[in-house]
Structure 1
Amino acid sequence: MTELGLPDAIQACLFDLDGVITKTAVVHAAAWKRTFDAFLRQRDGAGFRPFDEVTDYNEYVDGRPRADGVRTFLESRGIELPEGDAEDPPDAGTVHGLGNRKNDLLLELIRTRGVEAYDGTLRYIEAVRAAGLRTAVVSSSANCRDVLRSIGAESLFDVRIDGVVAVERQLPGKPRPDTFLAAAHDLGVQAKAAAVFEDALAGMDAGRSGHFGYVVGVDRVGQADALRAHGADRVVQDLAELTEPGERA
């Protein structure tokens, strides 16, 4: 499997969506910032400390299910809100209300900005499939299928475990490994025979705790050391690097 930069025992590849397949991580970060800044400004007034699109995003919300991201970030600021429920309106002062506000803003940004794919990732997935390996997309996003369709990539995956499926199956999200383990199970392989491709620190934690055969950290924002510290076996800036001569697994 050296032509793919993977150990020979790997039989399947599990890819995160945002930041690995698509250039939507920056759009997610912008939607989170607008959501949290409006909330914090209303709560704390002119002296509020804004949400940081790099540090706060990477540490507290990237890769996590939406409600978990709300809870984790607010906890970092010593704030606790009522849970509410998934049907809360976006102006509700609840965890789910804030999450729904963020999702509304995200969909607005996607409509206005569109969605782009990382060409290096798409080429790599095509090479993986040509080599006979099975593929899955594993995302906390409830919009995963629509995003894949928008870039014409839905057919590149044998299995999709996303926010919708996770709710249906009651799977806890990253940093727990359950969604990745479900993808491996649906592909008919053991975790040790699957490689995880992630850009989020929570995704690295999931790959490590799930005992997957190989974990690739995709560094889009200059956090290579943090990705390694959270469990990456190898860090690349683009998946195309895995097929280039040089460093191998």
Structure 2
Amino acid sequence: MSVERRAIVTGGSRGIGRAIVERLAADGFGVVLTFRQNERAACEVAEGARARGHAVFVERHDQEDVTEISALFARAASCFRTTDDAFLDVLVINAGLMEHESIAEVTPESFDRVMAVNTRGPFFMLQHAAKRMREGGRIVLVSSICTELPSPGEAVCAASKAALEQFARVASRELGRRGVTVNSVSPGPTDTDLLRGATTEEEREAFARATALRRIGRPEDVAGVVSLLARPESGWLTGQNLRADGGLV
């Protein structure tokens, strides 16, 4: 299927990533979503979008393996039926790894794993994307509110996500002459399977009370912010980190 506006969303099979895929598809983008393990969930997202008339494609990609990035972009171009080198309008780097370990518990192996997925992989994805973005393209890196409000056990995760915000700031300077904007988004506590598996109901209620809007976020809330950044009207917004946290910070 040939589409005019094209997006890639990494980690698009569930939670916030799924909501971003569905929102961009509804906004008129053809979307390639990537997954690492849960192929069934990824296919469900794509099939649901296609049933609504949207062009959504599925590709397996392990963000930890930077040697596969070039092949991913080539497969995405094939999905969009284009041979152009610069074919992409929107890239959302959403895939990530959340591991809670106290500083005393972190091992060299667990440290390297989180950094490989959350920092190294996105950096080289960004590097490749610089060659693949069309003029006026949009790049969004999904960070986390833990970079500003870290909890015990989040030292490595917070550091790995903070790097994304700096990548966005520097890349916005390097790509700005082509009209490409680069921003990051920091979701606050968001009602996903990941959050529910890591917190109690009492903890989620406490998060809700701490926000200005007195609730935790929904994946669609974060997707709405990404949608805003993907629009032509956001062209003067670059090098920024947007907190999608309901006024938590």
TM-score for both structures, normalised by structure 2: 0.42
The structure with higher relative contact order (CA 8 Å, sep 6+) is 1
TM-score for both structures, normalised by structure 1: 0.42
